[in-house]
Amino acid sequence: MMSRKQGWILVLLAAASCGETDSDGGSASDSDAPDVATPDASDAGIDAADGATDDGEPPGQCDAGLTTCSGSCVDVSTDAANCGYCGHDCRGGGCANGACQPVVVGKTNALDHPGGLQVDDLNVYFSFGWGAGKSGLARMPINGGAAVPLLQGQSWINRLALTSSSLLWTEYGSQPGTNGMVATMPKKGGTLTPVVAGLAYPTTLAIGATHIYYAMQGWSIHRVPLAGGTSELLWSTSGPYDAIDIAVDSTHVYFSLLGVAGSIQKIPLTGGAATLLAWAANHPYSVAVGGGHVYWADVGTPPTYSDGSISRVPINGGAGEVFAPSQCQPESVQLDGEYAYWATYCGGTVARMPIKGGPIRVLAAGQAGPSSLALNDDEVYWTNTLGYEIMKVAK
């Protein structure tokens, strides 16, 4: 008589033979295979704790402390291609404690005091120098390389903007107060073309769908068609005020105004009366608009600037809020639809915070006077003004 143990052995052998590959290389029907749950797209590659992969593969058998990412066991605390979570590529930087490390894109060397910054798919563009005949524009490959001067011998270049084919900027001029200008040139290099000349202290600019908007030291905002034409005054006021920075959306120009008291205001794109959105306690500087809010960097109170902040207010008015307090001299704020990014000049940091709220994350620390910021889809770029270098870090 067959024993119970022998019977179980025969059952197991029969079951195993059902799952073997047949002679033509086929396998058991997919309908017999067990279902495998696919992670939700919002969680893919992020849940390092349970070993979920970035493409929905089931977790493998990894040693303790390792995570399955695309079928391989990796240490997400040090792996530069999967830093912090699966698929988070540090794009040339190292990975330490699950955080991507900053990278020196390049030194500006003799092109001192790197300032205004813009980036496209190939290059980072920046202004340099400060003084009569000492300013210029240059570019540098985003993946590293030597700075290539595009324009030299200019005077007091202030803010820089970028279109698909051109660089635009404001410039005090060789005789400040009389021959400042808004100017443009091809971003690959070429001839400077004044867009508006003979200006008194143009300070900043922003690009709209059809116009260039620019501010003048001495409380006025203007616009000129991108295709060229006549400049028109949109708004002005009297008194000791300066429009420090401007940003535009599809309906309005938003600006930070410095005077007896700082403020954030807006005017229609076509001009008109200004609407006060918020009082800014100290020294409002850079502004950005997105997600239904206007954000601004308040550099703080000298001499320590330790009470600087990033604040915001709804674009249609309402209660303003301090978004990120106790920031040491933040001079630039940028948005990408998900986060607000800023640099702190005396704090030496580049940081970000979700626009929906959440903790502040420092992306880079120990920087030498970080100032202007620029963003692309994957990276944050900034100028280290005191270190004469262009830096970047993966988002």
pLDDT digits (tens, 9 = 90+) for 247-293: 999 999 999 988 767 899 999 999 999 999 999 877 899 999 999 99
pLDDT digits (tens, 9 = 90+) for 133-174: 999 999 999 999 999 999 999 999 999 999 999 999 999 988
pLDDT of 316 strictly over 50:
yes
Instruction: Report yes or no: 273 and 288 within 8 Å, Cβ to Cβ.
Output: no
Does residue 393 surpass a pLDDT of 80? yes
What is the Cα–Cα distance from 180 to 200, expressed in whole angstroms?
6
Measured between alpha carbons, how far is 307 from 383 in angstroms, rounded to an integer?
Answer: 22
Q: What's the full length of the chain, in residues?
A: 395
Write down the pLDDT at residue 249. 98
CA distance 113 to 384: 9
**Phi, psi (rounded to 5 degrees) for 391:** -120, 165
User: Residue 65 to residues 6, 49, 61, 74, 84: CA-CA distances in angstroms?
Assistant: 42, 9, 11, 9, 12
How far apart are the C-alpha atoms of 86 and 82, rounded to whole Å? 5
Is pLDDT of 349 > 60? yes
DSSP-derived letter for residue 32 is G
Q: pLDDT at residue 57 above 60? A: no
Residue 150, C-beta contacts closer than 8 angstroms, at least 6 positions apart: 125, 136, 137, 138, 139, 167, 185, 187, 189
The residue-averaged pLDDT of 348-363 equals 96
Q: How far is Cα 394 from Cα 363, in angstroms, rounded to an integer?
A: 8
Question: Could you say which DSSP state residue 338 is in?
Answer: S
CATH of domain 103-394: 2.120.10.30
The string of pLDDT tens digits covering residues 175-227 is: 878 899 999 999 999 999 999 999 989 999 999 999 999 999 878 999 999 98
Beta bridge partners of 194: 183
As a whole number, the mean pLDDT across the chain is: 86
Cβ(52)–Cβ(61) below 8 Å: no
Where do you find CATH 2.120.10.30 in the chain?
103-394
**Is residue 169 within 8 Å of residue 133, measured between CB atoms?**
no
The 3-state DSSP class for residue 30 equals helix
